[in-house]
Amino acid sequence: MSADPDSYVDLRSDTVTRPSPAMRRAMADAEVGDDWYGDDPTVNRLQDAAAELAGKEAALYLPTGTLCNQIAMHAFVRPGRFVACEATAHVGGTEAASAATMSGIAFRRVPARARGLLSADQVAAVLEPDPYDVDQVDLVAIENTHQLGGGSVLPVGDLAAIAKVCAGCGTPLYLDGARIFNACAVSGTTVADYAGHVDALMFCLSKGLGAPIGSLLAGDREFIREARRLKILLGGAWRQAGMMAAAGLIALRDGPGRLAEDHAHAQRLAEGIAEIMPDGVDLGAVVTNIVFVDASSSGHSPREWEQRLAEHRVRVTLVSGRVRMLTHADVTARDIETALAAWRRVAAELIP
């Protein structure tokens, strides 16, 4: 799998993008300082830009979205207490062992009625006081877009209703907005529109926005002061990080405006696969840059599809027994046609 990346159409994730020429130049020219001391001017500019964009008092630049989530949960949740989240959310699934190890946190995982999107009444139910006073939910975490929900978008109004329930219970609300810009591109809203309803949020620069590394955690000044303490405590003070922040600033400037293109490419990909395998794709679920294919009706395992697609130079990944593909800045309209041609060829091999 170490072949020249240009010879593949890589749909495994939107994290596989390589920095644009503008990012490379900005990285080479970046003004830097020691971020432990708060001295890196490029990191500081990025943090200020992120805070402003989110309409929050402050922001903290961190290497990964996972570290943003872990620091936020550590700050909001006491050991032995719960985070309430959707049943297939990243924080309570992929990150559950991290939260257990780093913070002694457990999860109340609430299955959504559809596509990973929780409603205010479901949040109200999970926040009902435990009559025995044992189970205590210290934080509600919402994921938008919802990855395992197929990149589904929670409308701002729904988040506002959830926020009202949380406020009524005195429970803080956190937004895992790894792909919040994709949600904004669909719903025609700003990050601040969403962020205004939550106590804190994170978003990734390293996904649809195309930066090589980095995510931002945003919230009020006191929360970010504590988050910075935890960042240093966990060994995350990354010195002259301005090299990376410079690419991050370009991602923030150029990234959001081109996401509609990724969404159109995902739509075309989903429609093309639906022609090959009508019951494999839920077309209504494809609203952002993620396409899930359930290949079980073919009688072949998703692993078999993954391996055969790779032989035709198309890389996909497997998530929860389905084939997952994401569009991103390094995927062109032509790449989508190449991918569809590969699907057709594999279908001809596997489906009699």
The nearest distance, CB 328 to ligand PLP, in angstroms, is 13
Q: How many CA atoms lie within 13 A of 288 on its CB side?
A: 30
Nearer to ligand PLP, 319 or 341 (CB): 319
Task: Check residue 206 for interaction with ligand PLP (CB under 6 A).
Answer: yes
Task: Check residue 248 for interaction with ligand PLP (CB under 6 A).
Answer: no
Nearer to ligand PLP, 162 or 342 (CB): 162
Closest CA to 58 of 241, 206, 253, 231: 231
Q: Which of 65, 116, 151, 236 binds ligand PLP (CB under 6 A)?
A: 65
Task: Check residue 119 for interaction with ligand PLP (CB under 6 A).
Answer: no
**What CA–CA distance (Å, rounded) separates 93 from 90?**
5
CB neighbour list of residue 106: distance below 8 Å, 6 or more residues apart: 80, 81, 82, 83, 100
Task: Check residue 64 for interaction with ligand PLP (CB under 6 A).
Answer: yes
Q: Which of 20, 70, 103, 215 binds ligand PLP (CB under 6 A)?
A: 215
The nearest distance, CB 45 to ligand PLP, in angstroms, is 21
Q: Map residue 136 onto helix, strand or coil.
A: coil
Q: Which of 83, 118, 156, 178 binds ligand PLP (CB under 6 A)?
A: 178
**What CA–CA distance (Å, rounded) separates 193 from 291?**
26
Burial (Cβ within 10 Å: 0-12, 13-18, ≥19) of residue 338: middle
Residues 83-102 that bind ligand PLP (CB under 6 A): 90
Scanning 62-70, 121-129, 161-169, 239-247 for contacts with ligand PLP by CB under 6 A, the matching segment is 62-70
- Identify the H or E element spanning 221: helix 221-233
Residues 145-164 that bind ligand PLP (CB under 6 A): 147
The nearest distance, CB 345 to ligand PLP, in angstroms, is 30
> How many residues bind to ligand PLP according to rule CB under 6 A?
12
Residues 151 and 286 sit within 8 Å (Cβ to Cβ)? yes
For residue 163, report the phi and psi dihedrals to the nearest 5 degrees.
-60, -35
Residues that bind ligand PLP (CB under 6 A): 64-66, 69, 90, 143, 147, 176, 178, 204, 206, 215
